[in-house]
C-alpha cells in the first residue's frame, strides 16, 4: 500500500480521500486554502459513518479508515513519500499548468501525478514539464467512493508503465479503471453521455417526447440492464446468436435512425427555457440540495445492492 497526496481538498478531493483511504492507503490532504483539509476531514467523518452502515468500508471501521488520513500543512509535506498524487484544482488550464509545475518540481521522480480534470486534456498542462512522462488524468465520476469507474487518460508523452501502474493502483482500491489508449475531448464517459444527451435534447426539441418521458426511458428502461452490463454486453445478450446476430437484425433500424441523429439541437434558447420550466416545476430551486442528498442516498443503496448481487448472483 501507498501514500496518496490529495492536492485540492474540495468536493472531488475529499471524495477521493475516502476511496483511497478505505483501501488502506495513507492519504494526506492539502489545499491552498489552509482551512480546507480540516473542513474536508470533518465532512469525511460524517460520510464514513453512513458508508459503514451500508457495508461499504470493506470490513474496516470508520476510525480505521479515518486513521489513514491527515491534513498536510504544506504541499511539500503532502508530497513527502507519496507514490500517487490526485490533483483536484479548479478546471482552468492556467491553474492546472501552474500546480503541475509545482508538483513536478517538488515530487519525487517516481511519483505519479494524476489530475481529476473532466474537461481538459492532459497534454494541455503537462507538455512543458521535465517529468511529463509521469503525468496523466484519472477522472472520476463523483463521488468515487460510490462510483467505481475512473478514466485513466495518457498524454502522448505519458510513460505506458505509468498508465499500467495507475491502473493497478486503482484496481487495488476497488475501482474499475477505463484505460484510454489516447486522449480525446470528453474521454469515454462524457462522450457517451454527450451522445445520449444530444438525442435527448433532439427528441424534446422535435416534439416527440417530454423531458419526463426521456428520463423514464432511461431510468425505468435502458439503464436497468446497463447498470450491471454495459451497452456491448447488453446487445451481445439481446439476440440468440450474440452481438453479430444483433447487428444483423437491428443494423437497418439503427442506420435509418442515424440519418436524423447527426445535428445538434439548440441547447440554449427556447428549448433550455422549456427544460428549465419543466424541471423547476418538478423540483423548485430551493429543493435542489435536498434532492442531491436523496440522489447520494439512492446511489449508496445501489452500490450496496450491486456488491450483494455480485456476491450472490455473480458478476
Give the shortest CB-78-to-its own copies separation in angstroms: 27
Which parts of the chain fold into alpha helices (H)? 11-22, 36-53, 62-67, 75-79, 93-106, 123-126, 160-172, 189-205, 211-217, 223-229, 231-236, 243-258, 269-282, 288-312
Give the shortest CB-110-to-its own copies separation in angstroms: 26
- Segment contacting its own copies by CB under 8 A, of 51-59, 71-79, 102-110, 175-183: 175-183
How far apart (Å, rounded) are the C-alpha atoms in residues 77 and 6?
11
Per-residue contact flags (x/-) with its own copies for residues 136 to 155, judged by CB under 8 A: -----x----xxxx-x----
Provide CB contacts within 8 A for 260, sequence distance 6+.
Answer: 202
Name which of 101 and 118 has its Cβ closer to its own copies.
118
Cα distances (angstroms) measured from residue 157 to each of 6, 100, 103, 110: 23, 15, 17, 16
- HSE-CB for 300 with a 13 A CA cutoff: 17
Answer yes or no whether residue 188 interacts with its own copies by CB under 8 A. Answer: yes
Question: Which residue from 43, 124, 203, 307 is in contact with its own copies, where contact means CB under 8 A?
Answer: 203
Answer yes or no whether residue 171 interacts with its own copies by CB under 8 A. Answer: no
Answer yes or no whether residue 189 interacts with its own copies by CB under 8 A. Answer: yes
Answer yes or no whether residue 220 interacts with its own copies by CB under 8 A. Answer: yes
Answer yes or no whether residue 133 interacts with its own copies by CB under 8 A. Answer: no
Question: Which residue from 235, 270, 307, 311 is in contact with its own copies, where contact means CB under 8 A?
Answer: 235
Answer yes or no whether residue 230 interacts with its own copies by CB under 8 A. Answer: yes
Answer yes or no whether residue 247 interacts with its own copies by CB under 8 A. Answer: yes
Give the shortest CB-48-to-its own copies separation in angstroms: 19
Cell of 229: 452490463
Name which of 2 and 149 has its Cβ closer to its own copies.
149
Handedness of CA 50, 51, 57, 62 (dihedral sign): negative
Name which of 113 and 204 has its Cβ closer to its own copies.
204
What spatial distance separates the first Cα and last Cα of the chain, rounded to whole Å?
26
How far apart (Å, rounded) are the C-alpha atoms in residues 66 and 45?
7
Give the shortest CB-208-to-its own copies separation in angstroms: 5
Answer yes or no whether residue 181 interacts with its own copies by CB under 8 A. Answer: yes
Per-residue contact flags (x/-) with its own copies for residues 254 to 293, judged by CB under 8 A: xxxxx-xxx-x--xx---x--xx--xx--x-x--x--xx-
- CB distance 17 to 29 below 8 Å: yes
Amino acid at each position: 500500500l501507498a501514500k496518496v497526496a490529495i492536492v485540492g481538498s474540495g468536493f472531488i478531493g475529499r471524495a477521493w480521500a475516502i476511496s483511497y483511504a478505505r483501501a488502506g492507503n495513507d492519504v494526506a490532504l492539502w489545499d491552498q486554502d489552509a482551512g480546507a483539509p480540516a473542513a474536508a476531514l470533518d465532512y469525511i467523518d460524517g460520510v464514513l459513518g453512513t458508508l459503514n452502515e451500508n457495508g461499504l468500508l470493506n470490513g474496516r471501521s470508520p476510525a480505521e479508515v479515518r486513521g489513514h488520513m491527515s491534513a498536510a500543512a504544506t504541499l511539500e509535506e503532502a508530497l513527502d513519500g507519496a507514490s500517487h498524487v490526485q490533483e483536484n484544482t479548479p478546471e482552468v488550464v492556467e491553474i492546472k499548468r501552474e500546480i503541475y509545475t509545482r508538483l513536478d518540481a517538488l515530487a519525487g521522480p517516481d511519483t505519479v501525478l494524476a489530475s481529476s480534470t473532466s474537461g481538459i486534456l492532459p497534454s494541455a498542462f503537462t507538455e512543458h514539464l521535465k517529468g511529463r512522462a509521469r503525468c496523466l488524468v484519472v477522472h472520476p465520476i463523483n463521488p468515487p467512493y460510490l462510483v467505481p469507474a475512473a478514466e485513466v487518460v495518457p498524454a502522448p508523452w505519458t510513460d505506458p508503465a505509468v498508465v499500467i501502474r495507475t491502473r493497478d493502483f486503482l484496481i487495488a482500491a476497488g475501482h474499475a479503471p477505463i484505460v484510454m489508449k489516447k486522449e480525446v475531448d470528453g474521454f469515454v464517459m462524457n462522450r457517451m453521455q454527450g451522445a445520449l444527451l444530444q438525442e435527448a435534447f433532439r427528441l424534446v426539441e422535435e416534439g416527440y417526447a417530454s423531458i419526463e418521458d426521456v428520463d423514464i426511458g432511461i431510468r425505468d428502461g435502458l439503464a436497468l440492464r446497463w447498470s450491471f452490463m454495459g451497452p456491448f454486453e447488453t446487445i451481445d445478450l439481446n439476440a440468440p446468436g450474440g452481438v453479430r446476430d444483433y447487428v444483423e437484425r437491428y443494423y437497418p433500424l439503427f442506420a435509418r435512425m442515424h440519418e436524423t441523429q447527426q445535428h445538434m439541437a439548440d441547447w440554449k434558447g427556447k428549448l433550455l427555457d422549456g427544460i428549465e420550466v419543466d424541471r423547476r416545476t418538478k423540483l423548485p430551486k430551493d429543493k435542489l440540495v435536498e434532492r442531491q442528498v436523496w440522489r447520494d442516498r439512492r446511489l449508496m443503496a445501489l452500490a450496496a445492492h450491486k456488491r450483494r448481487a455480485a456476491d450472490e448472483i455473480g458478476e
